[in-house]
Amino acid sequence: MGRATIRDVAAQAGVSLATVDRVLNDRKGVSVATVERVNAAIERLDFRRDVFAASLATSREYRFKFILPESIHNTFMANLGSQVRSAVDRLADQRIRITLASYREFDETDLCRVLEGLDPVETMGVAVVAVDTPAVREAIDTLVDRGIGVVTLVSDVTPSRRLDCIGINNMAAGRVAASLIGRFVGGRSGSIALIAGSLLLNDHVDRRLGFAQTMQREFSGLRLLAVAEGRDDSAVTGPLVRSLLEQHPDLIGIYSLGAGNRGIIEALEDSGRQGDIVVVAHELTQYSRRALISGTFDAIIHQETADEVENAVRTLKAFSDGQVGFSSPRIRIDIFVRDNLP
How far apart CA 83 and CA 67 sit, in angstroms, is 13
pLDDT band at 54 (very low <50, low <70, confident <90, very high): low
The pLDDT value given to residue 124:
96
215-273 pLDDT, tens per residue?
999 999 999 999 999 999 999 999 999 999 999 999 999 999 999 999 999 999 999 99
CB of 296 closer than 8 Å to CB of 278: no
DSSP 3-state assignment of 180?
helix
The pLDDT value given to residue 51:
55
The pLDDT value given to residue 197:
97
Weakest mean pLDDT among 24-28, 111-115, 179-183: 24-28
Weakest mean pLDDT among 4-8, 39-43, 305-309: 4-8
The pLDDT value given to residue 155:
98
261 Cβ neighbours under 8 A, 6+ residues apart:
234, 237, 281, 283, 285, 287, 288, 291, 297
Q: Count the Cβ atoms, other than its own, within 10 Å of residue 323.
A: 15
Weakest mean pLDDT among 113-122, 174-183, 283-292, 325-334: 325-334
The pLDDT value given to residue 202:
98
In the chain the domains, ranked by start, together with CATH numbers, are: 6-57 (1.10.260.40), 62-167+305-331 (3.40.50.2300), 170-302 (3.40.50.2300)
Weakest mean pLDDT among 49-58, 75-84, 122-131, 228-237: 49-58
DSSP string, 256-289: E-SS-HHHHHHHHHHHT-TTTSEEEEE---HHHH
129-167 pLDDT, tens per residue?
999 999 999 999 999 999 999 999 999 999 999 999 999
Residues in the chain: 342
DSSP string, 26-44: T-SS--HHHHHHHHHHHHH
277-321 pLDDT, tens per residue?
999 999 999 999 999 999 999 999 999 999 999 999 999 999 998
Q: Residue 136: which H helix or E strand, with range?
A: helix 134-145
pLDDT band at 329 (very low <50, low <70, confident <90, very high): confident
CB of 75 closer than 8 Å to CB of 27: no
How far apart CA 3 and CA 5 sit, in angstroms, is 6
How far apart CA 127 and CA 147 sit, in angstroms, is 14
Buried b (16+ CB within 10 A) or exposed e, 217-244: eebeebebbebebbbbbbebbbebbbeb
| Angle at alpha carbon of residue 203, lines to 334 and 251, rounded to 5° | 75
Report cis status (omega within 30 of 0) of the bond before 159. yes
The average pLDDT across 115-127 equals 96
